[in-house]
């Protein structure tokens, strides 16, 4: 059994991260102070420094929290029982809708590339959303739903398209309209990679073939 001290330490950290997510979402990284984060969590600044080395470390924890929450939801959608194609498209649509969530928009899309640096942000994004996308594509290929193209290449290209779509939504004057356009476009792109079913082959009998030849 875990000690009360460990449980208290974990609950303290969670309270600080939850406070940080709310404040970073509302005010951004530059507009949020550690004093405000600690105060909102009803903790001391010393407690904050016990868990985090500074503001950037706290931001990265907030980023991880937001990503984990949304990726867990998407993972449940794409791994749900049912037709693999339908669940994959449902997951794709759900991801586009996630880009409308204020915490995801502000922390993951807007702030993270600046605060964490481009390379660190891309690395973190690959750890979360890219892995889920690659697994989904592999399942669809194995089930004969998608063309037999290289999994890694297809995943990289679609991941780039989704990332661009997320940025388009977050930077749009009308995010909901942009979301609908991105969703419609990305679904159409994926449908273009789907294996089309060949029409059933009709096998003629020899007599039918001779009869048709005479009519010619």
Domain count, the chain: 1
pLDDT in tens, 156-206: 999 999 999 999 999 999 999 999 999 999 999 999 999 975 334 344 444
Residue 94 inside a domain? The answer is yes
Check residue 140 and give its pLDDT.
94
Q: In CATH, what number is assigned to the domain containing residue 121?
A: 1.10.357.10
Residue 161 inside a domain? The answer is yes
Q: How far apart are CA 166 and CA 168, in angstroms?
A: 5
Residue 59 inside a domain? The answer is yes
Residue 21 inside a domain? The answer is no
Spell out, as residue ranges, where the chain has pLDDT lower than 70: 1-2, 197-216
**Ramachandran assignment for 190, one of left (phi > 0), alpha (psi -120 to 50 degrees), beta (any other):** alpha
- HSE, side-chain direction, 13 A CA sphere, residue 166: 22
Residue 200 inside a domain? The answer is no
Domain hosting 147: range is 54-192
Residue 143 inside a domain? The answer is yes
Check residue 9 and give its pLDDT.
84
Whole-model pTM: value is 0.83
């Amino acid at each position: 059994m875990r000690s009360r001290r460990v449980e208290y330490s974990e609950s303290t950290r969670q309270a600080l991260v939850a406070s940080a997510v709310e404040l970073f979402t509302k005010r951004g990284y530059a507009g949020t102070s550690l004093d405000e984060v600690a105060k909102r969590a009803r903790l001391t600044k010393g407690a904050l420094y016990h868990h985090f080395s500074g503001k950037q470390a706290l931001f990265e924890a907030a980023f991880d929290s937001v990503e984990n929450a949304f990726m867990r939801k998407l993972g449940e959608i794409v791994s749900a029982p049912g037709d693999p194609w339908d669940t994959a498209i449902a997951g794709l649509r759900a991801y586009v809708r996630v880009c409308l969530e204020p915490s995801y928009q502000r922390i993951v899309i807007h702030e993270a590339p600046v605060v964490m640096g481009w390379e660190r942000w891309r690395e973190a994004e690959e750890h979360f959303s890219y892995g889920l996308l690659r697994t989904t594509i592999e399942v669809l290929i194995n089930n004969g739903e998608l063309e037999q193209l290289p999994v890694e290449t297809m995943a990289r290209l679609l991941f780039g398209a989704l990332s661009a779509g997320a940025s388009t939504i977050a930077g749009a004057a009308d995010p909901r309209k942009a979301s609908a356009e991105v969703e419609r476009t990305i679904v159409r792109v994926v449908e273009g990679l789907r294996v089309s079913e060949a029409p059933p082959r009709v096998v003629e009998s020899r007599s039918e073939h001779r009869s048709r030849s005479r009519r010619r």
